[in-house]
Amino acid sequence: MVTEDQVRTWVESYVQAWTTNGKKDITDLFTPQAEYHEWPYETDWIGRDAIIEGWQSRAPWQKGGWDFDWSILTVNGDTAAIEGTGRYKELGTFANLWTVTFDKSGKCTVFRMWNNEI
C-alpha cells in the first residue's frame, strides 16, 4: 500500500526528472519492466529503457520554459490518481490525469496519462 507522502515524493521526483532529462533521475522512478502509456497520443513505452529513450526524445518540448501544478486526487492500495496542469511556452497548456501504480519499493510499475490540450 502506497502512502500520500510516497506519492508526493514520487511526483516531485518526476518533475525533477522532467526538468533534468537525466537518465539516472528517470531510472529512479520506474521498475525495469515498467509501462508508460499516454492518451490521446500513441505512447506505449514498455520497459524502463524504452521509457528513458522516449522521455529524453521530448526534451524539445521544454524549450522556452514550462511549469507544472499538480495535486493528488486519491490513493487506493498501490495506485494513485493525480491531476495536473502543464504549461509550456512553446506548446500550450495541457490538463493531465495520471494513474500511477507502485511496487513495494515505491517505484512505478504502470504509468497512465490522459493528456488534453486546454
Cell of 83: 491531476
Domain with 83 in it: 4-117
What pLDDT is recorded for position 42?
Answer: 86
Length of the chain: 118
Closest CA to 106 of 84, 78, 83: 78
Strand runs labelled E in 1-107: 30-39, 43-46, 66-76, 79-88, 92-102
Task: Give the count of domains, the chain.
Answer: 1
Q: Residue 63 pLDDT more than 90?
A: no
Q: Write down the pLDDT at residue 35.
A: 98
Instruction: Report the CATH number that the domain containing residue 40 is assigned in CATH.
Output: 3.10.450.50
What pLDDT, on a 0 to 100 scale, did the predictor assign at position 41? 86
Residue 61 has pLDDT above 90, yes or no: no
Strands 79-88 and 43-46: unpaired
Instruction: Look over the chain and give the mean of its residue pLDDT values, rounded to a whole number.
Output: 95
Q: If you average pLDDT over residues 80-96, what whole number do you get?
A: 94
pLDDT range class, residue 46, cuts 50, 70, 90: very high
Q: Where do the H-state alpha helices sit in 1-118?
A: 4-20, 23-27, 48-56
8 Å CB contact between 85 and 95: yes
Q: Is the pLDDT of residue 76 over 90?
A: yes
pLDDT the model gives residue 36: 97
